[in-house]
Amino acid sequence: MRETNPFTILEYIKTSIEILMNMKMEEQQELKNDKQDEKRKSKRQTRKDDQGDESESVVSGDEAPSEYEQML
**Whole-prediction pTM:** 0.49
Q: Residues 4-58: pLDDT tens digits?
A: 899 999 999 999 999 999 999 999 999 999 988 888 888 777 777 766 555 454 4
Residue 39, pLDDT score? 84
DSSP string, the chain: --SS-HHHHHHHHHHHHHHHHHHHHHHHHHHHHHHHHHHHHHHHHHHHHHHHHHHHHHHHHHHHHHHHHHH-
